């Protein structure tokens, strides 16, 4: 089977999971239900939930119902962010994936509430999964083996940042105080939920979004990197990290997953900028606008290779799907 067909097969399976979860929340006002269905079930790449499930699969095996709830939660957060990002007070976009945006279809008030509902649904799903683990667990105490994510970054040698200077790849992850369990399934699910919530919050996605809408015309390289890192990168990194944590990855393996995800996310965002440039879209926070198309293509290629290098460092793990997925999104045409 070609990778294109394999990806589509996994994407279709996730669409089924998404529809099944959505079917369970039909006891809501009709106006909200229609708006949620319009936005959440309209297709899309489903890249983030597949990164989560395939990372989990690499470390543990077939995702169960509780892991799938986390995958759906990631997609709910992503979808909410797009709805709000499209609003007139933000990017003021009329179209999303070739269709009218949520506020154009249903009005601004409904769009705001639909986004709010999706964000809260994500938290419902994550806590449901964690509670299920507690119910199934005979051990409700706190495990002793913990690892701070900032300690993970200290264990990794500094690497070059996007502009050539030295920095630690994982040192600026917004959830630096987060405790990640090395054992105890209950704690894994609770900590994974907290990680995902923080990545979507004021130190994560929202931090990048607010700089994107408030920065002036004099955009610095550091500010551009900050916006990319948080507005786009944090949710992608969280998806991979959650898959690794729930799958029981070792400390060293988690380091490589974090670095893989950061390079993957950066390449993904630059590719978006390249495609916008080719379509003659004028984006103010654009890598192409700041550095030119040649530098953009080169940096995107370098980041893609770095992502693959981190996967290769995982040794005996089956990284084939993630490697091909990395290449797929680096070479995409839309």
- Per-residue pLDDT reduced to its tens digit, 112-130: 999 999 999 999 999 999 9
Site of tokens 């550095």: 291
Task: Out of 137-146, 291-300, 319-328, pick the least confident.
Answer: 137-146
3-state secondary structure of 9: helix
The structural domains of the chain, with segments of one domain joined by +, span 3-330
Task: Out of 2-6, 159-163, 222-226, pick the least confident.
Answer: 159-163
Count CB neighbours of 278 within 10 A: 11
User: What pTM was estimated for this model as a whole?
Assistant: 0.87
3-state secondary structure of 240: helix
3-state secondary structure of 146: strand
> Of residues 125 and 147, which shows the higher confidence score?
125
What letter would DSSP give residue 233?
I
Q: What angle do CA 79, 83, 86 make, to 5 degrees?
A: 135
CA 186 – CA 16 distance, rounded (Å): 27
CA 156 – CA 147 distance, rounded (Å): 14
pLDDT digits (tens, 9 = 90+) for 172-182: 433 333 334 33
Average pLDDT taken over every residue of the chain = 87
Spell out the CATH class of 3-330. Answer: mainly alpha
Q: First CA to last CA across the chain, in angstroms? A: 23
Sequence-separated (6 or more) residues with CB below 8 Å from residue 33:
25, 26
Q: Which two tokens stand for residue 145?
A: 């083996």
pLDDT digits (tens, 9 = 90+) for 60-83: 999 999 999 999 999 999 999 999
What integer pLDDT is reported at residue 285 of this predicted model? 81
Buried b (16+ CB within 10 A) or exposed e, 199-236: bbeebbbbbbbebbeebeeebeeeebbbbbbbbbbbbb
E strand map for the chain: 95-96, 99-100, 146-148, 159-160, 166-167, 179-181
Count CB neighbours of 245 within 10 A: 25
What integer pLDDT is reported at residue 186 of this predicted model? 86
CA 143 – CA 133 distance, rounded (Å): 14
Task: Out of 9-23, 153-167, 212-226, 314-328, pick the least confident.
Answer: 153-167
Query: Taking 60 as the threshold, does the pLDDT of residue 144 lie above it?
Result: no
């Amino acid at each position: 089977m070609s990778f294109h067909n394999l990806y589509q097969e996994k994407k279709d399976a996730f669409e089924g999971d998404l529809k099944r979860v959505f079917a369970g929340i039909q006891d809501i006002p009709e106006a909200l239900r229609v708006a949620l269905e319009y936005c959440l079930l309209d297709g899309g790449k489903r890249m983030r939930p597949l990164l989560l499930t395939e990372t989990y699969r690499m470390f543990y095996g077939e995702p169960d119902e509780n892991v799938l709830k986390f995958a759906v939660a990631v997609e709910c957060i992503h979808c909410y962010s797009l709805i709000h990002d499209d609003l007139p007070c933000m990017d003021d976009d009329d179209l999303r994936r070739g269709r009218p945006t949520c506020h154009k279809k249903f009005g601004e008030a409904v769009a705001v509430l639909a986004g709010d509902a999706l964000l809260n649904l994500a938290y419902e799903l994550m806590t449901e999964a964690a509670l299920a683990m507690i119910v199934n667990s005979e051990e409700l105490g706190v495990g002793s083996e913990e690892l701070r994510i900032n300690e993970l970054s200290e264990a990794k040698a500094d690497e070059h940042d996007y502009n050539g200077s030295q920095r630690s790849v994982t040192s600026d992850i917004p959830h630096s105080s987060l405790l990640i369990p090395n054992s105890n399934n209950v704690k894994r699910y609770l900590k994974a939920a907290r990680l995902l919530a923080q990545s979507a919050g004021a130190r994560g996605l929202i931090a990048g979004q607010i700089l994107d809408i408030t920065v002036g015309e004099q955009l610095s390289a550091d500010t551009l990197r900050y916006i990319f890192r948080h507005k786009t990168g944090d949710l992608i990194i969280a998806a991979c990290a959650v898959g690794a944590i729930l799958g029981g990855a070792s400390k060293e393996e988690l380091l490589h997953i974090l670095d893989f995800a950061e390079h993957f996310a950066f390449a993904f965002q630059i590719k978006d900028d390249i495609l916008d440039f080719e379509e003659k879209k004028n984006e103010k926070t654009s890598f192409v606008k700041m550095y030119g198309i040649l530098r953009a293509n080169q940096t995107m290629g370098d980041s893609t290779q770095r992502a693959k290098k981190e996967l290769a460092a995982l040794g005996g793990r089956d990284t084939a799907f993630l490697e091909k997925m990395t290449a797929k999104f680096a070479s995409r045409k839309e």
